[in-house]
Structures are given as C-alpha cells and as structure tokens.
Structure 1
Amino acid sequence: MEIPKRNQGMYGNVPQPIRIDGAGGIDNGPRDIMRDIENPNMLVPPITDSGLLPNMRFSFSDTSMTLSHGGWSREITVRELPIATTLAGVNMSLTPGGVRELHWHQQAEWSYMLLGRARITSVDQNGRNFIADVGPGDLWYFPPGIPHSIQGLEEGCEFLLVFDDGTFSDLNTLSISDWFAHTPKEVLSANFGVPISAFDHIPSEQLYIYQDNVPGPLESQQVQSPYGTIPQSFTHHLLSQPPIKTPGGSVRIVDSSNFPISKNIAAALVEIEPGAMRELHWHPNNDEWQYYLTGQGRMTVFTGNGTARTFDYRAGDVGYVPFATGHYIQNTGNQTLWFLEIFKSDRFVDVSLNQWMALTPRDLVRNNLHVGPELLDYLRKEKWPVVKYPGFSYYPKNTN
C-alpha cells in the first residue's frame, strides 16, 4: 500500500515505521502508540543515523516519586540513565511552608528555580551565614559539605537540583534529623550542654521533607553571625542577565566567571524559536547534561567512526551528550524551546563548527568537503549559538 507523502510514516492516525521511499513496514503488533508519537525520530530514524549509541534521553515522568508531607521529589541518576556519569538531577516541589530539612551533601548542589519562591539558608565552615529568597529563573549553588535548607514560601515552589556525581541520590544525603536519631542522647546532651530531656521528642528517623508554617518576611528571619555573611553569594539571578541574542533565539551563560561560587558546575539557558536550531557544535571540557523546560525538540549526536543517533525531547526530559561529541538541537514544535545545558566544570565552553570552518584557510575547507562559494561565502567568523534563516524549518514528522 502506498503511503501518501503528507501522512508519511502514518497509517490512518497511527504512526508507522515507514520511510517515504517505502523502507520499513506496518507494525500491527502490541505497541505503545503514544510513546511512538512522542518519539518519531526513534520510530523512523533519519537516514543519516548509523551505528549503535546508548540511550541519551530519560524523562522525569518515568521516575518514581517520593511523596512527603510538605512536598515531593524524583531523580534521574546513572540508575535511570547509565551514560550520565558526571551529573545527576533531582526535581523537587515544596508546599507553602514545606521544608527540605537542614542537610548537606558530599557533592556540589546547583539549582534552577522553575516555579514559585523559596527561602534558602546556609552556614559555611567559617561560621558565616547566608539567608535569601529565590524565585523563577534564579540559581543557587552550595559547595560540597556546606549545610543548607530550602523552604517553600506563600505559593510553594518547584525546582531542579543538579549534583556533580552521576551516582548521587538525594535520599542518601546527610540530614540533621537522621544524625540526631543515630546519636546516643547522652552524647547529644554532652555536646550541647543541656539535659537529656531536651531530646525527648526528636524524630526517630530522617525527615527529608516536612510540613511547617510559611516563614515570615526575610527581615524577620535574619540571624546575625559574629563572623559576618558569606563573601560570595550562593544565588544568581539568571533571567536578569542580558542574553546573547542571535537570529532564532538566545543564550545566557553562567559559570564561575559571573557566578564565582559555582566552581564545579557551569550552565547555559538556551532559547530556540520555532524553525531555529542550536547550531552544530561540541564541548571540549566535559559531558553535557540537559534539562528541557518548554517545547519539544530533537537532537542528533555524532560520535565519530560513522556513528550517529537521534532523540526526541519534551518538557521534563533529561538529555545527555558525551564529552567532545558533535551535536545539534532543532525546535520541532510550534512554540519556543527552552532548555538548560549543564556541565561538571567551572567554565562553559563550546566549539562552533561554522566558526571553525570560517577561521580555517578557505582552500583547505573547499578541498576537504568538496564545497563551493555557496557555502564558503556564508561562513561566520562570529559564533551564533542559535541559528535561523529565511525558509529554514524543521520538516514534518518522519519525512526522513
């Protein structure tokens, strides 16, 4: 049966693994049709895909929720996405007044606020404290071993946490309630110089997240330390940062150059308009961990030796790109695609394929690729992280 071009890859309203040239065939067996609709480039891979690459996509929707009075959390680590060895992510929500209890990690913690507002507190090894409120688009960063807490304000909050170790689990962190529960009360009494009875009602196990009252104004909770406050802010207002604007979108880069405390994690917030793409590029410093905020897109990763694979992404998905491998991300929807690129590094760096070619002797590029002035005359010496040209758009589903 001939498949009309406009329904290429479709049979009725059901997507099918068929290319426009007839390659493939009808799948009448048991299948998850909704999953195939969400992953058209896995059902019908581009003809340029080749070889075997591990999975580089996992959705928070496919993870297990930890539900508490006061909020919830879910995480993506190497258990869910084995290739993601450098970073792990936690998606967490706190109710109004909900508290992620006083705790610390052996890993660095980097966070992006998604919704609502929260209050964070911390004290460093020198007794200098930090208390601040954060809202949508704000970041915080706590170095390894620095104790802190997070509490939802009037409207509650939701945020992304990223840790610089792919094996990390937020359920295995060091919490104050857990330590108290596993320390003899006579030791607690001696440590604090108070009667044992002061610990009659301490929790018997880790609280993790608990419900409390919404705290008062920030000024009402300030605690003066005799040693002063943290010299480098633990927060950064990313959306207040002027973006790098290019045709088709924008990029905001944040690393230790403009967020000095963030020594272990660097990131970029990328905006790709419909019909635009994150240009062909790679990162020479470390693997890339991605979190998709809005919209939908597709990414092809090229690892050399004739190997490439394409993945589809939607809001709430995590993507991953191995160190120094080529890739690009296209907006495949009709709304703006926003996502975070995150690295275990103190600096954000990337190499642009276009810029590399423009700054290489013209004859060398021409003879290497067998191309002419229709390409060579349009190479850019300036880097455009996001590109869009008149007439450029993502082609309809499965016209690969």
Structure 2
Amino acid sequence: MSSDRPDETPAVNRRAAIGTGAAMLGGAALGAGLTAAAACAEPARTELPSAGSIDANLNKSAHLFHLTAAEPDRYDGGTLQGAHEQNFPVLAGQNGAAYFVRLEPGGVREPHWHPTAWELNYHISGSAKWTVMGTHPDGSYHNDVFEAHAGDLVFAPQGFFHYFENARADAPLELLIVFNTSAPETSDDIGILAALNSIPREVTATVLGIPVSVLDGIPTEIKPVVITKRH
C-alpha cells in the first residue's frame, strides 16, 4: 500500500497503513496490553510554562485561527486540519487543540489510542460508525460500538482504544475534534499497525493461536496514515 501522508509529515511517527486484516488482528493482540501501554507510554507534552509566561503569551498572541482555511493534510480517505501550539501559539500552555476532520465515503480513521489525552468529537455532518474500548474496575473490557450522526458528541477517554469511519457511501463525514493537549495530534497517538509491528510476529501468532505464516500479509512499515480508505 503506497504512502498517502503529506510530504511535510515527519517520517518517524506513530501511525501506519491499516487494512481489514490488520484491524481484526490488532484488536485481539492489543487488548491484553492496552492499559499497560497507556500507563507506560512516555508523555508527549512538554512541561507547562510558568503562569507569568502563559499570561504574557496570551497578551501578545493572536486569538483567531482560520481552522478550515488552514492547509490540510491530505490522505487517501480524507483530510485533516489542525490548530495546536505549533501553528496557533496562543494555545501554548493551555492544554487544548482542535482538528477539523473530513472523511470521504469509505474513509476510515486508523484505530488508535492517545496515551496522554482524551478527545471530544462533535459530528458536524454525515454519519459515523464508532468503536471505543477500555478497561473497567471489574477487570473486563467494555467494547462500545455505536453510530453517531450530525449534532452528536462522542467522548474517547485518555488511553481508550477507538476508531471511527464514514458510515455513508453517498456523503462525506465531518467532525470537529477537541483534545486536552496543546501538542500536535501526531505527538500523542499510537496507531494499530505500528503497535502490531512493535511485537515479534511469533508472539502475536501465539496470542492469536494461529501459525506465524498467517501474518505474512501484514505490512511491516511503521509510517503515519491517520486516515485511510476501504478498497
């Protein structure tokens, strides 16, 4: 599968291309280690500046950002436009960032989780199929599968495994996503295939109870995708 990330995206990142087989295998392989991965991941956010520095920044920085006019990151299945501390300096130290996401018909947001941030997803238009999975106090997994529509709000807790895709074949899906981190979204995101490729294939095969040869078709590259498309 060819790379569909923008040229300006750093090569070392947290995401890789996904396919139906990778998603199915990743859900099983990652389930047992989800909480541990979130707990052990090194925080992506830098130390907060002093209150005085934050106040000074608020006084000198622009408070307006034209989000949907920003140059988008373009992918096979849609586009991503973000406002964070690197391109909207007033956000520095504020623990906040926002993204406008557009998925074309067939578009899929790579299954992933954020080790140090939660997210609120406001559905502007279209319909989305969602899965949010996390652990609960009794030691069980809670796998919440649902469909969201225009006007709906979806919360993905910090460290919870989640993904969404465009549920319609005749219209795009548009969302506004707000994170409680000022860093770029790429600094706090672990994708399913990159996670799979951090595990030796024989270990993954043992966990799934399948021959190692079954995994031969899974891509081995670790590269950002963010958004892909069903083919």
Question: Whole-Å Cα distance in 2 between the matches of residues 368 and 383 of structure 1?
Answer: 26
Question: Whole-Å Cα distance in 2 between the matches of residues 318 and 341 of structure 1?
Answer: 10
- 1:71-86 matches, within 5 Å, as none
Distance change (3 Å), C-alpha of 1:376 and 1:368: farther
Alpha carbons 2:201, 2:212 under 8 Å: kept: no
Please give the secondary structure, in 2, of the residue aligned with 1:311: strand
Deviation at 1:315, TM superposition (A): 1.3
Alpha carbons 1:366, 1:376 under 8 Å: kept: no
Are 1:381 and 2:222 an aligned pair?
yes
Deviation at 1:374, TM superposition (A): 5.5
Partner of 1:247: 76
Residue in structure 2 matching 1:311, options 135, 140, 146: 146
Question: Whole-Å Cα distance in 1 between the matches of residues 102 and 203 of structure 2?
Answer: 34
Are 1:321 and 2:160 an aligned pair?
no
Q: 1 or 2, which has the higher helix percentage?
A: 2
Q: 1 or 2, which has the higher strand percentage?
A: 1
RMSD value, Cα: 2.6
The higher radius of gyration belongs to 1
Q: What amino acid does structure 2 have at the position aligned with 1:231?
A: K
Please give the secondary structure, in 2, of the residue aligned with 1:327: strand
Q: What amino acid does structure 2 have at the position aligned with 1:314?
A: H
Alpha carbons 1:273, 1:335 under 8 Å: kept: yes
Residue in structure 1 matching 2:61, options 219, 222, 232: 232
Alpha carbons 1:284, 1:323 under 8 Å: kept: yes
Question: Whole-Å Cα distance in 1 between the matches of residues 107 and 214 of structure 2?
Answer: 21
Partner of 2:204: 365
- 1:24-103 matches, within 5 Å, as none
Are 1:261 and 2:90 an aligned pair?
yes
Please give the secondary structure, in 2, of the residue aligned with 1:335: coil
Deviation at 1:371, TM superposition (A): 6.1
- CA-to-partner distance for each residue in 1:240-299, whole Å, 9 max, x for gaps? 333222221122232112211112211222121112211111111122111111111121
Structure 2, unpaired ranges of 5+: 1-26, 28-53
Question: Whole-Å Cα distance in 2 between the matches of residues 253 and 371 of structure 1?
Answer: 42
Question: Whole-Å Cα distance in 1 between the matches of residues 77 and 215 of structure 2?
Answer: 20
Q: What amino acid does structure 2 have at the position aligned with 1:378?
A: I
Distance change (3 Å), C-alpha of 1:268 and 1:372: farther
Moved segments of 4+, more than 4 Å = 371-376
Residue in structure 2 matching 1:298, options 109, 129, 133: 129
Q: What amino acid does structure 2 have at the position aligned with 1:384?
A: V
Please give the secondary structure, in 2, of the residue aligned with 1:257: coil
Distance change (3 Å), C-alpha of 1:343 and 1:310: same
Q: What amino acid does structure 1 have at the position aligned with 2:118?
A: D
Distance change (3 Å), C-alpha of 1:261 and 1:303: same
Question: Whole-Å Cα distance in 2 between the matches of residues 373 and 287 of structure 1?
Answer: 37
Identity %: 26
Q: What amino acid does structure 1 have at the position aligned with 2:189?
A: D
Question: Whole-Å Cα distance in 2 between the matches of residues 253 and 313 of structure 1?
Answer: 22
Are 1:274 and 2:105 an aligned pair?
yes
Question: Whole-Å Cα distance in 1 between the matches of residues 205 and 118 of structure 2?
Answer: 31
Alpha carbons 2:201, 2:215 under 8 Å: kept: no
Distance change (3 Å), C-alpha of 1:257 and 1:249: same
Alpha carbons 2:107, 2:165 under 8 Å: kept: yes
Question: Whole-Å Cα distance in 2 between the matches of residues 255 and 316 of structure 1?
Answer: 24
Structure 1, unpaired ranges of 5+: 1-47, 49-123, 127-141, 144-229, 391-400
